[in-house]
Amino acid sequence: MLFVLGKGGVGKSVVSASLGLLAAERGRRAIITEAAGAETMAALFDREPVGYTPGRLATNLQALSIQPGAAVEEYLVRTLKFRLVYEMVFRNRFVEPFMSAVMGLSDLITVGKVMDLEWERVDGSFGPDAEGPNKYDLIIVDSPATGHGLSLLRSPQAMMDVTRVGPLFNNARLIRDLLADEQKTGVVLVTLAEDMPVSETIQAATELRERGNVHISGIVVNGVVPPVFDDPATAECWDRVRRQGLELGGAAAESVRDAERSLRDRNRAEEHIARLRETLGLPLIELPLLSKRDLDAKALAELGTVLGAWS
Ligand SMILES: Nc1ncnc2c1ncn2[C@@H]1O[C@H](COP(=O)(O)OP(=O)(O)OP(=O)(O)O)[C@@H](O)[C@H]1O
Ligand SMILES: [Mg+2]
């Protein structure tokens, strides 16, 4: 299971989709789950919304949108056989928001649903001790923006702290242990090579490390402007020309200004990336900024290929 975490708008969904395509391309059965009823994948792959039952995005790649309401009902009624509690509490429009907020129940149940997917086997059997190959080789969780994403990962421990015994406690402990299992679970932090997202990434990584309950697999720096010059010789040549203070007019001057601007952007991005590397010392990969406005399946596959260099 890979939890894809990051600040709002940095490209979590794009990275989730690219990772999913990469795995599918390599013959793995992958599924991308979205939290809080989001349906970004359907839009990215130009499909109808997938809803709460897995829907197909591409060969070997499925998606599922976890709707907290449906997940809470399924969990309480099916897993814990709490139909009465469910009817009493969650059908009551005054109590429901209160319960969900105070107990962080919908966060817990969202990660619980992810754990269910991890427990599913090809032959239809289910559970931590079920045998046979997993139904999904890779489960990617396109998480909500950082704060809420972190609270998803925190939710099992939070539930254990408030319940202490009973079925909710036991279930939360199973989820917590699965998250803590390095062999099974990792977090991918997505950021842009910019000041605020980098600071937020460092903060999130520090918090995750301090809590020590989930392994950080690595960092994806998304939307990075590519190096301006492909080879060092050209870069050197450019430097020499600039040092000579050549005065150019017209179109040439404009090209020079464009190149200078790109160089400045690239240098700034490199500084942010260096800061991430030095502060966190985690595996890191850069994804290029693509010029397309709306990224289609082809662009996502292109980014997937870049991510392929990682593993
Ligand atoms: N490498 C890239 N090159 C060009 N455009 C990109 C790239 N990555 C993401 N985008 C664009 O940036 C926007 C935000 O990306 P995305 O939706 O994946 O972010 P997000 O982190 O999932 O956002 P949210 O927090 O709202 O869920 C989208 O319009 C997407 O097409
Ligand atoms: Mg998103």
CATH number at residue 108: 3.40.50.300
How remote is the CA of residue 9 from the centroid of ligand 2, in Å? 7
43 lies in some domain = yes
Q: How many domains does the chain have?
A: 1
pLDDT at 253: 81
pLDDT at 168: 81
pLDDT at 157: 94
pLDDT at 91: 67
| Residue 12 Cβ contacting ligand 1 at under 6 Å | yes
> Most distant CA pair in the chain: distance in Å?
82
Residue nearest atom 9 in ligand 1 by C-alpha distance:
11
The ligand 1 atom at the shortest distance from the C-alpha of residue 223 is 1
| Residue 13 Cβ contacting ligand 1 at under 6 Å | yes
Q: Could you give the C-alpha distances from 176 to 99, 115, 130, 185, in angstroms and in order?
A: 21, 10, 19, 11
pLDDT at 265: 93
101 lies in some domain = yes
257 lies in some domain = no
149 lies in some domain = yes
Do residues 156 and 108 lie in contact, with contact meaning Cβ atoms separated by under 8 Å?
yes
Q: Which domain holds residue 105?
A: 2-226+282-307
How remote is the CA of residue 8 from the centroid of ligand 1, in Å? 9
236 lies in some domain = no
pLDDT at 311: 67
Do residues 185 and 1 lie in contact, with contact meaning Cβ atoms separated by under 8 Å?
yes
Both tokens of residue 289? 């900024």
pLDDT at 287: 97
Q: Which ligand is nearest to the CA of 222?
A: 1
| Residue 14 Cβ contacting ligand 1 at under 6 Å | yes
Q: Please report the DSSP string for the chain in residue order.
A: -EEEEESTTSSHHHHHHHHHHHHHHTT--EEEEESTT--HHHHHTT----TTS-EEEETTEEEEE--HHHHHHHIIIIIS--HHHIIIIIT-TTHHHHHHHHHTHHHHHHHHHHHHHHHBBTTS-BSTT--S-BS-SEEEEEPPSHHHHHHHHHHHHHHHHHH-SSHHHHHHHHHHHHHH-TTT-EEEEEEESSHHHHHHHHHHHHHHHHHT-S-EEEEEEEEEPPPS-SSHHHHHHHHHHHHTT----HHHHHHHHHHHHHHHHHHHHHHHHHHHHHHH---EEEEEPPS-SS--HHHHHHHHHHHTTT-
74 lies in some domain = yes
Torsion of CA 45, 42, 189, 61, to 10 degrees: -70
| Residue 10 Cβ contacting ligand 1 at under 6 Å | yes
| Residue 226 Cβ contacting ligand 1 at under 6 Å | no
163 lies in some domain = yes
pTM attached to this predicted model: 0.91
Pocket test for ligand 1, best of 5, 10, 14 (most atoms within 8 A of CB): 14
Residue nearest atom 7 in ligand 1 by C-alpha distance:
223
Q: Which ligand is nearest to the CA of 34?
A: 2
The ligand 1 atom at the shortest distance from the C-alpha of residue 289 is 3
Residue nearest atom 15 in ligand 1 by C-alpha distance:
11
Strand order in the sheet with 216-224: 55-58, 61-65, 30-34, 138-142, 2-6, 186-192, 216-224, 284-288
C-alpha closest to that of 63 among 99, 117, 129, 6: 117
**Low-confidence residues of the chain, pLDDT below 70?**
79-103, 311
The phi and psi torsions of 65 (rounded to 5 degrees) equal -110, 115
CA dist 119 and 251 (Å) reads 62
CA dist 285 and 267 (Å) reads 17
296 lies in some domain = yes
pLDDT at 114: 93
Q: 């966190």: which residue's tokens?
A: 280
- What angle do the packed helices 195-211 and 146-163 form, to 10 degrees? 20
Each residue's pLDDT tens digit, 62-96: 999 998 777 777 877 776 666 666 666 666 666 66
